[in-house]
Amino acid sequence: MTTGTVPYLDKPVSRIVCGTDFLMGAAPNNTFAALDAYWEAGGRTFDSAHCYGANSNIFAAWTGSRGVRDEVIYFDKGCHPYGRKRVTREDMRSDILDNHRRLERGYTDFFVLHRDDPEVPVGEIVDWLNEFKEEGLIGVFGGSNWEHTRIAAANEYAQKAGKQGFSLNNPNLTLAENVRPLWDGCLTIGEEGRRWHAETNFPLFAWSSTARGYFAGVDDPEVLRAYDSETNRARRARCEELGKKYGMSTVQMALAWTLSQPGNIFALCGLRTVDNVKQNVEVTKLKLSPEELRYLEFGEQ
């Protein structure tokens, strides 16, 4: 498993971050087997969130049974909008402490805000997160579904105030263009944001990097509403074609496109089976050329 680094964290972070939002729905024989396989492959970073509910309890059962709870790097999220805006000091603290109880660990390596609320000044958010850091509740922090300009503004404030800034951005980044957002409030990073990450090398943790199974040809109506288009069908076909060169699947090539983007790129992946783990780890060994990246996205130029 290849790793990378993020500001303010002195641990290597796995390029493939293992999701845990599927554990309740996974086949019983696969639930712990996939987590074991990821661990054996050198993966140490796991994605969790307050809105994952009882999935976090199952994950805690795995970390406890394997004796690895203190070795895991937790990429945990809070402030999901349960019918209202929840980017508040009180909701942050509540979600952090709830997650600690569910995960049976009193510290979160990463705390990531699941949504932004542009009406809340970034300075206030930075102040609150530094408060939780100083209390020993969290380590580093970032934003999911945030505009890169808001993160840049937050870090500008932090630098002037002598405080810790954001360590990462966690948007959707996938080869498939969004026809419509998967969920309200979700953000797919655009060309300007991609350029900013390439120029600054600021860590980007991509969610849904393979478009929730679109590149595997799933017929889920929700996925098709979000991604199915002539453009995306052509991109999927090019992934299949280029995959033959490397002996990889269409899904693997879509993930390779994300991980090969210029910058400091990571990907959150739902690894439901041992085979999923093996295939995703294999992708981390491949770096697509700029020409191949352009071909997958735009076709022959």
Q: What structural domains does the chain harbor? A: 3-298 (3.20.20.100)
Give the separation between CA 30 and CA 35, rounded to whole angstroms.
8
pLDDT, tens digit, 9 for 90 and up, residues 31-60: 899 999 999 999 999 999 999 999 999 999
Q: DSSP H helical segments within the chain, as ranges? A: 28-40, 55-66, 89-103, 122-134, 148-161, 191-200, 221-227, 230-246, 250-259, 274-283, 290-298
Give the separation between CA 231 and CA 298, rounded to whole angstroms.
9
Alpha-carbon radius of gyration of the chain: 19
Kind of pairing between the strands at 3-4 and 13-14: antiparallel
Q: How much is the average pLDDT of 100-114?
A: 98
With vertex at residue 62, the alpha carbon angle to CA 284 and CA 277, rounded to the nearest 5 degrees, is: 20
Residue 103 has pLDDT above 90, yes or no: yes
Beta bridge partners of 204: 169, 265
Give the separation between CA 289 and CA 122, rounded to whole angstroms.
37
Nearest of 82, 106, 88 to residue 96 by alpha carbon: 106
Residue 19 has pLDDT above 80, yes or no: yes
Beta bridge partners of 140: 110
pLDDT, tens digit, 9 for 90 and up, residues 185-235: 899 999 999 999 999 999 999 999 999 999 999 999 999 999 999 999 999
Nearest of 78, 180, 96 to residue 133 by alpha carbon: 96
Q: How much is the average pLDDT of 68-73?
A: 97
Element (H, E) at 23: none
**Full-model pTM:** 0.96
Give the separation between CA 288 and CA 282, rounded to whole angstroms.
13
Residue 136 has pLDDT above 80, yes or no: yes
- State the CB neighbour count (10 A cutoff) for residue 131: 15
Look over the chain and give the mean of its residue pLDDT values, rounded to a whole number.
96
Give the separation between CA 235 and CA 232, rounded to whole angstroms.
5
Give the separation between CA 166 and CA 8, rounded to whole angstroms.
9
3-state secondary structure of 269: strand
Give the separation between CA 198 and CA 193, rounded to whole angstroms.
9
For the chain, what's the residue count?
A: 301
Give the alpha-carbon dihedral of 149, 154, 158, 164, to 10 degrees. -110
Q: Which pair of structure tokens corresponds to residue 85?
A: 């805006």
Residue 301 has pLDDT above 60, yes or no: no
Query: For residue 29, what pLDDT band results from cuts at 50, 70 and 90?
Result: confident
